Structure 1
Amino acid sequence: MSLVSLGDMAQSFMLRRHMGQVKADLALHTQEMTTGLITDIARRTDGDLGPLNAISASLARLETLASVTSEMQLWSGAMQSALEAIDNRAIELGPQLLSAASARQSATFAAVSGEGEAAFLAAVGYLNTSLDGRALFGGVATDHSPLPDSASLLNQVAEVAQGATSVADLRDRLDTWFGPGGGFETAAWRGGAALEPVTIAQGETARLTPTALSDGIRDTLKGLALAALAGRDLPGPGIDDKAAMLAAAGDTLIGSSGARAALAADLGITEQRIADAQTRNAAEMTALKFAESQIRAADPFEAASRVQEAETQLQLIYTLTARLSGLSLADYLG
């Protein structure tokens, strides 16, 4: 029986350890060649990870901004759609009310008053719109609708009108109720303070300002309410009172068109600023990702050369080991 000398055992151990190191190098370089990414960032950057960390922090910031601006874009789009629906109905109904007031026919009065009431109920529904369970027109109070349901709100307006002795008296009551500090603001309104500005890009903020308390909205609701109340014989059932009510409603709706347009225009400007910010943020993110990839990128030719070198070393170690132990390659690697 032959004995293995201490020198042979030590040499065999060294070869096995070297074999393990070469296998690890081969796996590492194969990964770099396959993925195109360096595995040892510290070696690539000489231990200076500051630039890479700065890029990662900037990318995280931009990803947050992308989420914020995407949500704001959805909100502003939904708000714009609601405002457009309210405005379209008011623009259509205003001249109809004036025409009906001039016609002075009971059937026409009833028809346009009914349309006015339907438009009021629809407008309140739009103002109570929510997106992903959050109210759009309630300011910071997003967990509930900013106004009562449509029918309840119209009943509140009707209660304010009760006892009015003339159309002028009724209009004064509604002017007060829908005006600043009036019942619409103190009793009907259930929203909160206006939304705070939100950062949409580096050094830039945007704010979604429309609420159910916005001037154009108040005046539009007041005009629609006047038309609806004419159908309830307020302040009286006479043709003169109804005609005056419908004329007042038409004038109010037409007169508030400028405020509605300004509200939509301001929101449109905000939408454009959000879109511009998204474009800039996306361009910055692309540039940063390219810079990051340049730092992390592995040289494919260098990686391939190292893979070939490691494979050659592995073959050489096997040959030496096989001569020492008489093992086959399959036995050794197993």
Structure 2
Amino acid sequence: MSWVSLGSLALPFQMQRNGVQLRDSVAQHSAELTTGRVAAPQQHLRGDLGELAVIESRLGRIQTYETVIGQNETVLETAQTSLQRFASLGALLSNQVLTAAFADSGDQSYESVGSAARTALGDMVSVLSVSVAGRTLFSGAAVDRGPLVSADQILAEVETAVSGLQTADEIHATLESFFLDPGGVFETAIYQGTGQSPGGALDDAQVASPLPDAADPAIRRHLMAVTMAALMEDPDLGLSRAETRNLAFKTMEEIESNGGAVTGLQAGIGFDQELLEQRLQRLSHERDSLVRARQGLIGTDPFESASVLEETRHRLESLYALTSRISRLSLLEYLR
């Protein structure tokens, strides 16, 4: 006869209930051993979850801030690389202008420098149009578009502004007004950005510094110098060879004197990069402290959890073995 018919039905139901309890216990202790935390914090803390809630909330904010800082680090690194490229384009052109001016070997050398300057201007516009995750870096708050019109459009505006001028001094003064005057042609027809892009939040009361934009005076002066060099190739300007040479010297002087200002922009970004790294380290230390505090509230001893798990597993296996033996009991087997 089957074991379920012995005595009453209480025995199989009792063993089934014990099996469910032991399986639940195995699952609980397995989870605690894996996570290092109790499976039921509310029961463990007897309903006093205030301190735990504060810790969990702060850990969540720290994770958000670390993500934002990581994004800002990527933005700053990209901006730093772009400004380095921007400065190197100016320095390379300065060397070419210097060689042509001191060699003074003829109009062909100045035309070659003018052609190189047009290429450098296009590269500079491209460098300043760099974006990260769909956000243009040097357009201020207008992150959805490039900061400048194309190099060809810039040169067209410049050529119109200097048309009819005969001396390097006149061209230099006109271009200074063109690029640097508030409300001038640069701000109204060349620069497409607006305002300053706000920095991302680094903590509850701290935000990152805004990036420099393409309207910064240091960037404007470099663009002005390169544009001035590009005019050496303009046959319609009609400068004498002596004035073309003077224009070359003024180009070189502008690039060299403004190099420190561009370097200052790079230094500012480098300072911000260092601040981000320091802030990331502080958040990391705070996170570690909070994790230890949380572990003190709801943490489990891994050795104790492993021991209880092994004991529970052994009890469950014993129950299975006992159930199997009972299920095979019958009068026929007993009489044999």
TM tier, shorter chain? 0.7 to 0.9
Runs (5+) with no aligned partner, structure 2: 330-336
Q: Distance in 1 between matches of 2:186 and 2:20?
A: 80
Alignment map for 1:120-269 (pairs within 5 Å):
120-179=121-180, 180-201=182-203, 203-233=205-235, 235-269=237-271
User: CA-to-partner distance for each residue in 1:157-188, whole Å, 9 max, x for gaps?
Assistant: 22222232433322222111101221111111
Q: Distance in 1 between matches of 2:12 and 2:191?
A: 86
Q: Distance in 1 between matches of 2:317 and 2:66?
A: 49
Q: State the match for 2:65 in structure 1.
A: 65
Compared CA separation, residues 328 and 241, structure 1 to 2 (3 A): same
Aligned with 1:308 (options 306, 311, 314)? 311
Tell me if structure 2 keeps the 8 A contact 1:138–1:190. Answer: yes
Tell me if structure 2 keeps the 8 A contact 1:195–1:207. Answer: no
**Greater than 6 Å deviation, 4+ residue runs:** none
Compared CA separation, residues 237 and 37, structure 1 to 2 (3 A): same
Secondary structure, counterpart of 1:256 in structure 2? helix
Please state how far the C-alpha of 1:26 moved relative to its aligned partner: 4.0
Q: Distance in 2 between matches of 1:143 and 1:100?
A: 40
Compared CA separation, residues 93 and 30, structure 1 to 2 (3 A): closer
Please state how far the C-alpha of 1:43 moved relative to its aligned partner: 2.2
Q: Distance in 2 between matches of 1:82 and 1:273?
A: 20
Answering whether residue 272 of structure 2 is matched by residue 279 of structure 1, we say: no
Secondary structure, counterpart of 2:327 in structure 1? coil
Q: Distance in 2 between matches of 1:128 and 1:255?
A: 24
Please state how far the C-alpha of 1:8 moved relative to its aligned partner: 3.8
Q: Distance in 2 between matches of 1:126 and 1:306?
A: 61
Give me the CA root mean square deviation: 3.0
Q: Distance in 1 between matches of 2:95 and 2:29?
A: 78
Tell me if structure 1 keeps the 8 A contact 2:73–2:276. Answer: yes
Q: State the match for 2:24 in structure 1.
A: 24
Runs (5+) with no aligned partner, structure 1: 330-334
Answering whether residue 49 of structure 2 is matched by residue 49 of structure 1, we say: yes
Alignment map for 1:83-122 (pairs within 5 Å):
83-104=83-104, 105-122=106-123
TM-score, L = length of structure 1: 0.84
Q: Distance in 2 between matches of 1:237 and 1:313?
A: 99
Q: Distance in 2 between matches of 1:102 and 1:159?
A: 29
Please state how far the C-alpha of 1:64 moved relative to its aligned partner: 1.2
Please state how far the C-alpha of 1:117 moved relative to its aligned partner: 2.1
